[in-house]
Amino acid sequence: MSTSRNYEREFVRTFFTSPTAVEGNEDTAKLLRSAAQLSGMEAPDTWIPDNEDATAPSMRSEGVSNIIEVVSEHGATFPGEIHPRVVWHRDDPSKRYQGFQQMLEIADPGNGAVDHIDGFVIPEVGDIDDWKKADEFFTIVESEHGLEPGSLSMSVIVESGEAELAMGELRSEIGAPSNRLERLFMLVDGEVDYTKDMRGMTPTGGLPEWPELRHNTSRGASAAGLIAVDGPYDDIRDVEGYHERMTENRAKGMTGIWSLTPGQVVEANKAPLPPASGQWLLEIGGETVELTAVDEGYEYAGDEVTLEPTGDDQFRLKTGATDQTLDESALQEVVVDMTAYISGLDDMVDSMEEFEAAKAAGKGAIAMTRSATLIIDGVSVSIQTDRMWDEATYQAAMTPISLFQDVYENRPDQHEELAEMYGASVVERAMAVGTDD
Ligand SMILES: CC(C)(COP(=O)(O)OP(=O)(O)OC[C@H]1O[C@@H](n2cnc3c(N)ncnc32)[C@H](O)[C@@H]1OP(=O)(O)O)[C@@H](O)C(=O)NCCC(=O)NCCS
C-alpha cells in the first residue's frame, strides 16, 4: 500500500511562474492577466503568480493587489490550480513576516480571490522546523479568515542543503499532532539558489546539473505522498535542451518542471504524455536513428548500414568497421540487438489489455510478443521479441497511463487536443485500463 496522498492530482506537469507587477507597462498586471486566460495545452497544471524572485522588491506590494484583482476576475475559469509564491527566508524573520502578511491579504475572503486560490508556494525554506513555521502561518491565515483548516496547500522551493535534508524527515513528521504538514503538495527544486547555498562552482559559471538533488526530491516526494517538480530551465529558447532535461527527470520519477514562458508550458504539458504512435529506432555506432513507417514495415533510409543477400541463404551486414556474414536467424538476432522501440499510447493500451485478459483467465505471467518487419538497404528482416510480463511489469507500465488518466480527469479543457492527438477510441480505451481491480 503506498502512502496516501492528500491531493487528488497525482501528477503535475507544469509549474508556471508569472511576475505579479512589472514597472513600465501601462498595466503592471499585464503578464498576470494574459497568463490567467490561458487554456488547453497552453495553460499550466499549476500557475504561480510569483511575488518573490520574478517580481522586483519595489513592486511586490502592488503585486499582491494585482494577484487579488486578476485571480478574482479570472480564477473561476482558469483550468489549472493557482498557487501564488510569497516571500520567505529561513534566516530572515522580517521576510517571513512579510510572507505571512502577503498570504493574509491574498486569502482575505473580503478581497474575493481566495475561492480560486489552491495554496501558496514558500521559497527559501530551511530545516524541518522552518517548514513548520510556514505551516503555522497557513493555519493562522485559515483561522483568521474562517477558512477550513488545511484547505490552503503549501508547496516549498527546495533551494538549500537544509531543505534537502528536511525532505528525509517528512515521512515521520507529517501527521504529527503538533503540525499540519499534511497540507504539503509540491516539492520544487530551485537549482540557482541551491548552487549558491552549496557553494557550487563550475569552470564556465554554468549551473551544475545536480542530479542528486533531483533524485532526492523525487524520493522525498514519493516517500511522503507529494509531487516533485524540477526547477527553472533558464535557457528559454533551447527547446531541445528542455526536452532532454525532462526526459532525464521522468526516468527519476520527477514528472513536473518549472516553466518560465508560455512556450515552455506547452512543451512541458505535452512532453510526459505518451507518443501518439510507436517508433522503431536503430542504434548505429552510438547514434539512434528513427525508422520510417512504410507499407511493408519500417525502413532505414540512411547509408551507415548496408545489407545484401550473398546467396546460400546468407546475408552480409556492414555497420561502421563491422562486416559480418550471417544466416537468417543470426541476422535477426543481430538486428534485434540493434533496435529499440518507443511505445505509443495505442501499444501501451494493447499490452495492458492483453495482460488484463490473461490475468482474468487465471495467468500470472505471460510472454508479450512484439514483432515487426524492418527494411534495411531494401532487404526485409522480420524480427520478434518476447518479454515476460507479470503483475510488477504491468504496474510499472501503468505509470504513463496513470499520468494520461490524471491529465484527462483534471483537465477537461485539454480533451479536444487529446482526442486530436490520439483519436477518440484510443483515449476511451486508455481511460478504461487499470480500472478492473
Ligand atoms: C524571461 C522573460 C522575461 C522572457 O520574456 P519574453 O522574451 O517576452 O518571452 P516570450 O517571448 O516567450 O513571451 C511571449 C509572450 O508571453 C508573455 N510572457 C512571457 N513569460 C510570461 C510569464 N512567465 N507569465 C506570463 N506571461 C508571460 C510575454 O509578455 C509575451 O507576451 P506578448 O506577446 O504580449 O508580448 C519572461 O518569460 C518572464 O518574466 N518569465 C518569468 C520569470 C520568472 O518567473 N522568474 C522567476 C523564476 S526563479
Task: Tell me whether strands 46-50 and 81-82 are parallel, antiparallel or unpaired.
Answer: parallel
Helices H / strands E in the chain, number of each = 15, 18
pLDDT single digits (tens) 381-419: 999 999 999 999 999 999 999 999 999 999 999 999 999
Crossing angle for the helix pair 93-106 and 128-144, to the nearest 10 degrees = 30
Crossing angle for the helix pair 345-360 and 391-410, to the nearest 10 degrees = 130
Q: Is the Cβ–Cβ distance between 301 and 293 less than 8 Å?
A: no
Write the residue with the smallest CA distance to atom 15 of ligand 1.
262
Residue 1 confidence (pLDDT) above 90: no
Instruction: Tell which atom from ligand 1 comes closest to the C-alpha of 263.
Output: 12
Distance (Å, whole) CA 317 – CA 376: 10
Average pLDDT, integer, range 132-138: 98
pLDDT mean across residues, the chain: 95
pLDDT single digits (tens) 152-191: 999 999 999 999 999 999 999 998 999 999 999 999 999 9
Q: What percent of the chain has pLDDT over 90?
A: 93
State the distance from the centre of ligand 1 to the C-alpha of 27, rounded, in angstroms. Answer: 15
Write the residue with the smallest CA distance to atom 6 of ligand 1.
261
Instruction: Tell which atom from ligand 1 comes closest to the C-alpha of 52.
Output: 46
Residue 2 confidence (pLDDT) above 90: no
Q: Is the Cβ–Cβ distance between 31 and 22 less than 8 Å?
A: yes
What DSSP assignment string belongs to 156-186?
EEE-SHHHHHHGGGHHHHTT-TT--GGGEEE
User: What is the structure's pLDDT at 4?
Assistant: 56
- Helix %, strand %, coil % for the chain, to 5? 45, 25, 35
pLDDT single digits (tens) 265-295: 999 999 999 999 999 999 998 889 999 999 9
State the distance from the centre of ligand 1 to the C-alpha of 261, rounded, in angstroms. Answer: 5
- How far, rounded to the nearest angstrom, does the alpha carbon of residue 157 sit from its chain's CA centroid? 16
- What is the grid cell recorded at 393? 511489469
Spatial CA neighbour of 348 closest among 255, 434, 430, 250: 430
- What is the grid cell recorded at 383? 524480427
CB 231 less than 6 A from any atom of ligand 1: no
SS3 category, 373: strand
CB 35 less than 6 A from any atom of ligand 1: yes
> What are the contacts of 300-305 at 24+ separation with CB within 8 A?
300/374, 300/375, 300/376, 300/377, 305/376, 305/377
User: What is the structure's pLDDT at 3?
Assistant: 53
State the distance from the centre of ligand 1 to the C-alpha of 51, rounded, in angstroms. Answer: 15
CB 343 less than 6 A from any atom of ligand 1: no
Distance (Å, whole) CA 221 – CA 46: 17
- The set of catalytic residues is 390
Instruction: Tell which atom from ligand 1 comes closest to the C-alpha of 264.
Output: 12
Residue 43 confidence (pLDDT) above 80: yes
Q: Which of 261, 264, 265 to mutate to test the pocket of ligand 1 (most atoms within 8 A of CB)?
A: 261
Element (H, E) at 416: helix 415-422
State the distance from the centre of ligand 1 to the C-alpha of 262, rounded, in angstroms. Answer: 7
CB 188 less than 6 A from any atom of ligand 1: no
Q: How many CB atoms are located within 10 Å of the residue 295 CB?
A: 5
State the distance from the centre of ligand 1 to the C-alpha of 263, rounded, in angstroms. Answer: 9
Q: How many CB atoms are located within 10 Å of the residue 46 CB?
A: 27
Task: Tell me whether strands 297-300 and 292-294 are parallel, antiparallel or unpaired.
Answer: antiparallel
pLDDT single digits (tens) 180-202: 999 999 999 999 999 999 999 99
Write the residue with the smallest CA distance to atom 5 of ligand 1.
261
How many degrees, rounded to 5, is the angle at CA 60 between CA 57 and CA 62?
Answer: 140
Distance (Å, whole) CA 351 – CA 398: 10
CB 84 less than 6 A from any atom of ligand 1: no
